[in-house]
Chains A and B, each alone.
Chain A
């Protein structure tokens, strides 16, 4: 798992959070892990295939997730924000991963991603967090921290 594959996710997360939610993210830490198992209460899992393969897991504490969604839907009622919470976070994860794949793919490669899958907690029966060298990128924001676990490698 090379650091150069991580930089597109850092750049994309900062850009997308600013554009979509008007939230400033600051990268605070990078750690190496053995798998993509997230630390927080709500996570979005996206698989990667094509020229790269692996998994990216976005993870938020619930109170941070709620504040992020309120910034994405500032004119919506609290009830509507709650209704769209998982979907709004899924769209963020999808756009960040999509933007990162543009940076990774260049002019010739194709990288595909799976539809986002929402996991509450860390114990999911329906999706497996992969055992693969993972770089965990931590960001801080005015609403709390975001964690992006990146476990991808190029397909030879």
Chain B
């Protein structure tokens, strides 16, 4: 099964995401709490999919997406954020995200976004 890295500064969100995704059979290989940590851990763990928040300290998710895609143009990144504004969703997809899941999310929505990203 595919490997996933969770990126969010809020530990509770990562706890919920982990529970949902492990039930679907995915392996969580790493987690990060800011964009800088996300880039370093992407290089180290090379997950199949990254679930990326937008609002984080040090480096936000949109900029982290751009940096990871410069390292690996084939990286699959799904944004999971409460900031589901029209323009920000466009910004995330333009930056290279495969999908945008708005928090609070339904488990099936997150699972579908991962499946879509893996295709």
Contact partner of B83 (CB less than 8 A), chosen from A91, A98, A106, is: A98
Binding site for B on A (CB under 8 A): 16, 19-20, 72, 84, 87-88, 90-91, 94-95, 97-99, 101-102, 105-116
* Separation of A111 and B55 alpha carbons in the complex (Å): 11
Chain B hits for A109, CB < 8 A: 85, 87
* Separation of A108 and B104 alpha carbons in the complex (Å): 23
Count how many chain B residues have C-beta atoms less than 8 Å from C-beta atoms of the other chain. 21
* Separation of A19 and B106 alpha carbons in the complex (Å): 10
Chain B hits for A72, CB < 8 A: 12
Chain A hits for B81, CB < 8 A: 98
Binding site for A on B (CB under 8 A): 9-13, 15, 55-57, 81-88, 91, 102-104
Chain A hits for B11, CB < 8 A: 84, 87
Chain A hits for B86, CB < 8 A: 105-108
Contact indicator B85/A94 (Cβ below 8 Å): no
Closest chain B residue to A100, Cβ basis: B82
Contact indicator B104/A107 (Cβ below 8 Å): no
Contact partner of A110 (CB less than 8 A), chosen from B82, B84, B88, is: B88
